[in-house]
């Protein structure tokens, strides 16, 4: 029949994409575009692909690199080589011993950095665990303007100076950085030439992480997350009619969340901007009626969901949902909900009419 042939075609296509590393390649390219924001997107993509072709063919890439450096602005630099899924999954995590105070200080130092704010707690822990300590003496160069970047740094002790040379002129002192401040973050995404020289003003201790480790941690985490949720989502009745590609889109968009016994996850009357699917545990749904009476209207278990009504109706929450024992959920914000669950909207609206209301005693 047509359906089995369709599924066979999907399987063959998935095998083709995995075998040739297409998903990993495209994801890496999109990351580079998002960070670099080049004025000429097509030129950026052309240079990116040219470099990948040279690397794949085992050619000498020095001439290509020099050509790219001349023709690409700092914001349009080309990324480091793409890793395969196997390489990302086989990567052995690094753990440099640190005490609790150091970990807290590192978390605080990266809290507002765009390259760290999107990480889930376990990913951030892996990244901070992998950071290694460097010591520099006054006058020591840490990074040099024009060199290819490889490390990101957080200052633990001491002060550094930032020097910038404009249009080939003499370097001028731009600023000073000290405890808990950071520099070099663009090196974590792509091998752009350093935009400044940073040297130690005093004795300095720095925590650093290299680009390869950072990217392998994130890529491995993304792949493991996809594999973990792909099987789970097949058990969610709401998603059973989605094809594999649609479920993978949902899996990639999910964010994990954990709640303690009795913790309120959503509250009746509040604005609703998130949709939840239960992974482990049980939640209790309560509702307060017009008389001010509150009662239980439902209990929900793994593979069941809640929070969709407020997103579909753009209304406030119609019930309170609380954890009954420890609960693990995955959730989607409004933008992701509308983007990846569009095919399920008819089912979601149909099922809204099945919810009970608390009528009172």
- Identify the pLDDT of residue 18: 66
**Distance from C-alpha of 27 to C-alpha of 224, rounded to nearest angstrom:** 15
Residue of higher predicted confidence among 274 and 89: 274
Q: What integer best gives the mean pLDDT of the chain?
A: 78
Distance CA 221, CA 223 (A): 6
Q: What percentage of the chain carries pLDDT values higher than 90?
A: 25
Whether residue 55 is predicted with pLDDT greater than 70 in this model: the reply is: no
* Least confident range of 64-78, 255-269, 279-293: 64-78
Residue 280 has a pLDDT of 93
Q: What is the pLDDT of residue 34?
A: 62
pLDDT digit string, tens, across residues 225-243: 777 787 788 888 878 777 7
pTM: 0.48
Joined tokens for residue 74 = 């700092």
Per the DSSP assignment, residues forming a β-bridge with 298 are: 285
- Is the confidence at residue 190, as pLDDT, over 70? no
The answer to whether residues 232 and 304 touch, using CB atoms and an 8 Å cutoff, is no
Sign of CA dihedral 276, 277, 278, 284: positive
Instruction: Work out the pLDDT band at 201, boundaries 50, 70, 90.
Output: very high
By three-state DSSP, how is residue 158 classified? coil
Q: How confident is the model at residue 263 (pLDDT cuts 50, 70, 90)?
A: very high
Secondary structure letter of residue 208 according to DSSP: E
- Dump pLDDT digits (tens) for 150-160: 888 989 899 99
The C-alpha angle with vertex 79 and arms to 76 and 166, in degrees rounded to 5, equals 40
Beta-strand pair 132-136/182-183:
unpaired
Higher-pLDDT residue of 33 and 65 is: 33
What pLDDT does 72 receive?
35
User: How does pLDDT run across 94-124, given as a tens digit for each residue?
Assistant: 788 999 998 998 888 887 676 676 677 777 8
Q: Are 110 and 74 in contact (CB under 8 A)?
A: no
43-75 in b/e burial notation, b at 16+ Cβ within 10 A?
A: ebeebbeebbebeeeeeebeebeeebbeebeee
Closest CA to 44 of 77, 12, 87: 77
Percentage above 70 pLDDT, the chain = 73
Comparing 29-38, 168-177, 249-258, the range with the smallest average pLDDT is 29-38
Report how far residue 162's alpha carbon sits from residue 201's, in angstroms, rounded to the nearest whole number.
Answer: 10
Sequence-distant (6+) residues with CB within 8 A of 96 are: 129, 130, 131, 132, 133
> Is 80 exceeded by the pLDDT of residue 179?
yes
H/E run at residue 213: helix 211-234
CB within 8 Å of 308: residues ≥ 6 apart:
275, 337, 348, 352
**Amino acid 262: pLDDT:** 95
Give me the pLDDT at residue 69, please: 40
Short-list 15, 14, 27, CA closest to 82:
27
Pick the more confident residue, 117 or 137. 137
Q: Specify whether the CB–CB gap between 176 and 201 falls below 8 A.
A: yes
- The pLDDT of residue 293 is above 70: yes
| 324 pLDDT higher than 80 | yes
């Amino acid at each position: 029949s047509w359906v089995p042939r369709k599924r066979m075609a999907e399987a063959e296509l998935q095998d083709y994409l995995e075998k040739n590393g297409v998903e990993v390649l495209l994801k890496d390219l999109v990351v580079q575009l998002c960070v670099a924001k080049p004025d000429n997107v097509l030129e950026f993509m052309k240079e990116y692909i040219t470099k990948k072709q040279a690397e794949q063919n085992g050619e000498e890439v020095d001439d290509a690199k020099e050509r790219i450096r001349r023709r690409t602005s700092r914001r349009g630099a080309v990324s480091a080589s793409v890793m395969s899924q196997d390489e990302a999954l086989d990567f052995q995590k690094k753990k440099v011993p640190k005490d609790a105070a150091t970990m807290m200080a590192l978390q605080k130092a990266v809290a507002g950095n765009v390259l760290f704010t999107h990480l889930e707690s376990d990913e951030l822990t892996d990244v901070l665990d992998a950071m290694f300590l460097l010591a520099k003496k006054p006058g020591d160069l840490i990074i040099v303007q024009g060199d290819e970047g490889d490390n990101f740094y957080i200052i633990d002790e001491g002060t550094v100076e930032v020097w910038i040379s404009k249009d080939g002129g003499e370097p001028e002192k731009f600023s000073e950085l000290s405890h808990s401040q950071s520099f070099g973050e663009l090196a974590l995404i792509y091998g752009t030439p350093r935009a400044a020289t940073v040297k130690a003003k005093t004795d300095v201790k720095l925590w650093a992480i290299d680009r390869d480790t950072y990217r392998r941690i994130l890529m491995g985490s993304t792949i493991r997350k996809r594999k973990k949720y792909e099987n789970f989502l097949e058990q969610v009745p709401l998603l059973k009619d989605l094809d594999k590609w649609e479920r993978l889109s949902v899996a990639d968009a999910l964010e994990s969340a954990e709640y303690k016994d009795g913790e309120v996850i959503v509250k009746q009357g509040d604005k609703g901007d998130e949709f939840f699917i239960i992974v482990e545990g049980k939640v209790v749904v309560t509702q307060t009626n017009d008389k001010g009476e509150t009662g239980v209207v439902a209990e929900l278990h793994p593979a069941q969901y809640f929070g969709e009504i407020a997103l579909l109706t753009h209304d406030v929450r119609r019930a309170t949902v609380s954890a009954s024992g420890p609960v693990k959920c995955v959730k989607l914000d409004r933008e992701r909900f509308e983007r990846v669950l569009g095919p399920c909207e008819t089912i979601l609206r149909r099922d809204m009419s099945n919810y009970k209301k608390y009528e009172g005693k």
